């Protein structure tokens, strides 16, 4: 369903504390990445599961996703892959907003325990 037209009330929330999201420390241990990853932390995901995890450093960010448990795998396996695409899009936009260029690649890499490796984001100064 798509709604068209103006509303009588505000449709955007400015207080991000009302969002049910994981803490920054739950999605990354990268020092100084808070401003860059905040848009990703607030990004939508299936059932608010936020399966993404970011490792590496501010120049090379490895993106992984939590492996769903045995019971959740049939339901969340595909949705979590879509969630990673949403997270990558928000990360790319965050870099763009901060005057940087994000280059996404898909090398083989070892993910953190309990995660599946998805992609690498390399940061370049915008030209």
- DSSP states along 72-120: THHHHHHHHHHHHHHHHHHHHHHHHHTTEEEEEE----PPPTTEEEEEE
Confidence check: pLDDT of 9 > 90: no
Domain membership flag for residue 10 = no
Model confidence over 14-43: pLDDT tens digits? 777 777 889 999 999 999 999 999 999 999
* Confidence (pLDDT) at 122: 95
Cα end-to-end distance, the chain, whole Å: 40
Residue 85 belongs to some domain of the structure: yes
Q: Tell me, yes or no, whether 35 lies in a domain.
A: yes
pLDDT score of 126 more than 80: no
3-state DSSP of 10-52: CCCCCCHHHCCCCCHHHHECCCCCHHHHHHHHCCCCHHHCCCE
In-domain check, residue 53: yes
Dihedral sign, CA of 51, 90, 17, 30?
positive
For residue 102, what is the domain's CATH number?
Answer: 3.40.109.10
Please give the Cα distance from 34 to 40 (Å, whole number): 10
Nearest to 37 by CA among 81, 108, 82, 102: 102
> How many structural domains compose the chain?
1
SS3 state of residue 59: coil
| Domain carrying residue 103 | 25-125
pLDDT by residue (tens digit) across 73-121?
888 888 888 999 999 999 999 999 999 999 999 999 999 999 999 999 9
């Amino acid at each position: 369903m798509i709604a068209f037209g103006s509303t009588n009330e505000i449709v955007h929330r400015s207080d991000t504390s009302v969002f049910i999201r994981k803490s920054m420390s739950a999605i990354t241990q990268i020092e100084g990445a808070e401003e860059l990853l905040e848009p990703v932390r607030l990004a939508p995901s299936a059932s608010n599961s936020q399966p993404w995890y970011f490792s590496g450093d501010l120049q090379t960010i490895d993106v992984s996703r939590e492996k769903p448990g045995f019971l959740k795998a049939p339901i969340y396996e595909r949705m979590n892959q879509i969630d990673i695409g949403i997270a990558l899009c928000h990360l790319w936009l965050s870099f763009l907003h901060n005057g940087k260029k994000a280059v996404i690649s898909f090398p083989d890499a070892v993910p953190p325990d309990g995660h599946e490796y998805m992609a690498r984001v390399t940061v370049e100064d915008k030209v």
